[in-house]
Chain A
């Protein structure tokens, strides 16, 4: 036929008009825009056979038609946006329908709001209903008197926690020290942590060691990173242990408060056997000691001598916390380590050393700065102890070792 170049415009303009008005007048879905565009394409193709239009030129009006059609649907007024997205229009409700009063309603509410945000954010998940009159565990304490939850197996649903956590894009740091003979534990620690510690989430392992060359090369999961930091060793193992606080505190100030959101300090001579997940993430977290969790406060191994800065008077005390695993937000851990190390320094100046070294100072700090979350002894179980029924899962436990030999 005698189709000229200019006749291309006709179906394209039709496409644009249908696209713009169609959503208001009829129930045309976005996909219907394709019909006139395809027509335009066909005409354009036939046109090249007849005239000297290059095929590539056809793309230009088709894209234009598509853009017009799409823009024609998007209406900046909130309510018509709603109308175009929700296909079911007024099935009569059981209650009488009110007149829509949309005059002054949206003043406070920002127009840029994505309506989808108001709908379900958590992915469709299927899990059993929590019943108010059916507690999950009655054999253990699940909440401290200041309403901090205590993590025990069976009390939480990690899927929900993961879904909530993933939205926030946090980075977690783990500080651990392998000095002198403790380098032998690195492989076991990193291997098991790679599998079980916050698996699927970003973690930076910060390994402080005096023998960087002895760190075995290990393949870690893609979201895990290892940073090896050389550190000085001390002749006394107690000093090595206590100075960890100082090193952590300094490192937070210089580096970590820019790099991570949460920081945990863990002993190196441990292995993980079960998943430790995002249930540990909170502002200030302490682990209840596996040796002491049944003991009354007065027989707890708190430092009692008033000369020490770590002294806790008798009649006081909540739990006995293990220094092998503690953490929290970077700023809270900074406050904790600074305060504890200050206590250590003052004690040294006064010629006294707390009964359990920095653990005593940690306990004093956590008595007066209540942790916002507690980890049950599942999260640090001492190997030497037989495991009772209460501990259904042993997530992390110390490695069997000859203490005298490894500390020499």
Chain B
């Protein structure tokens, strides 16, 4: 059956070539098959060339004989309607105080660097679904209510969102009223005895969940900590192939002071002289396929350390940092997107979008 569908797609593409259309099947994402027809009629909606095929099949098949796999695949934003916004000026940098582009040309998203309306008008027609995973185990279930309530108001407003709450105690999860097009599903998970173990098992759980469930349901996935709250809008400017967030505590310190794992026997080891940024373990995400690969790779290094009887300095955050160092993220979120409320707000951080809830660690973690 799958082979037949593959050939169908293959021949279909040749038809398209004859008729003068080529699709860019570059991304493992059904919505990459939205193709333009040749006309410059801006008002008509984009026809989807392959509407009826199941998403996971599109995920697997390589259609083009020489499939273009761009180094940093990005969407070409198509504007369907006349939009009025201020002109970008080549000599007019909006943020003079912060780094907005990494040395490998990944944008760093700060307030003032993007135009939400423009991005929304490009993303909304794509009918994306965005997933959010969060782990609420043991006493952490008490954070679910505020997390989801604030997300309903501020996270990806106007888009379809699926919340996946991983918990060992489904009964305790409060039923929060959700906007239309948004859903919450509870994923039962085992509770380990130590909080470090719980924390490090997240990678494996997310990876398994993608393979079993979310690959059918979402295009992008964000993995967030549950003990946090949204204070300001978090929108599609955060979408990217692989997205990491800069840790609020270390964004202006030299790399030798980053709390990377420094023991060379660990798989998460990064020497003093290396490192770009210290990324927060509380926020990461991206295209589903990339998050799958990422969580798999992190879990592998976590297992390697386990076999060696070593646990990294900051649990899976160290492994996350190691992975992001060797496989650089395609987009970075500024500390606006992962803030620590106990810190005073510096002038660079104009807006706090997502930050921690004050809690007593001793009380929650036992």
Contacts and interface: CB of A to CB of B under 8 A. Distances in A.
Contacts of A343: 40
A77 to B, nearest CB: 10
Interface string B295-309: 011011101101111
B20 A338 contact: yes
A116 to B, nearest CB: 10
Contacts of B26: 283, 329, 331
B104 A164 contact: yes
Contacts of A400: none
Contacts of A76: none
A122 B326 contact: yes
Interface in B68-121: 68-79, 82, 84-85, 87-105, 107-109, 113-115, 118-119
B323 to A, nearest CB: 8
B22 A132 contact: no
B71 A168 contact: yes
Contact of A370 (B108, B122, B192, B308): B122
A293 interface: yes
Interface residues of B, number: 104
A91 B39 CA distance: 66
Contact of A141 (B91, B301, B303): B91
A109 B300 contact: yes
Contact of A86 (B91, B100, B304): B304
A334 B22 contact: yes
B76 A138 contact: no
A52 interface: no
B310 A296 contact: no
A135 B95 contact: yes
B187 interface: no
Question: Among the interface residues A86, A107, A157, A279, which one has the most CB atoms of the partner chain B within 10 A?
Answer: A86
B31 interface: no
Contacts of A100: 306-307, 309
B300 A115 contact: yes
A118 B89 contact: no
Give the residue among B85, B90, B246, B327 with the most A Cβ atoms within 10 A: B90
B252 A133 contact: yes
Contact of B98 (A89, A135, A338): A135
Interface SS, B side: loop
Nearest to B106: A149
Contacts of A139: 91, 93
Determine chain A's interface SS by DSSP, over half rule: loop
Interface in A183-232: none
Contacts of A117: 297
Given A141-B89, A145-B88, A118 B97 contact: no
Contact of A319 (B36, B90, B252): B90
A155 B303 contact: no
B119 A294 contact: no
A315 interface: yes
Interface string A96-138: 0110111001111100010101111110101101111111111
Given A132-B277, A133-B98, A109 B105 contact: no
A108 B204 contact: yes
Interface in B1-55: 17, 20, 22-24, 26, 35-36, 38-40, 42
Contacts of A331: 22-24, 26, 68
Given A98-B196, A261-B66, A89 B90 contact: no
B99 A140 contact: no
Q: Which 9 pairs from chain A and chain B are nearest by CB? A: A90-B309, A157-B103, A145-B115, A331-B24, A372-B74, A370-B77, A120-B326, A132-B251, A88-B265
10 contacts: A92-B309, A98-B197, A120-B326, A132-B251, A143-B100, A148-B74, A281-B70, A283-B73, A284-B76, A331-B22
Given A147-B114, A371-B76, 19 more contacts: A118-B301, A119-B267, A126-B274, A130-B102, A131-B252, A132-B99, A139-B93, A142-B101, A143-B100, A146-B114, A147-B119, A155-B103, A261-B68, A313-B82, A316-B82, A334-B22, A335-B35, A335-B36, A339-B38
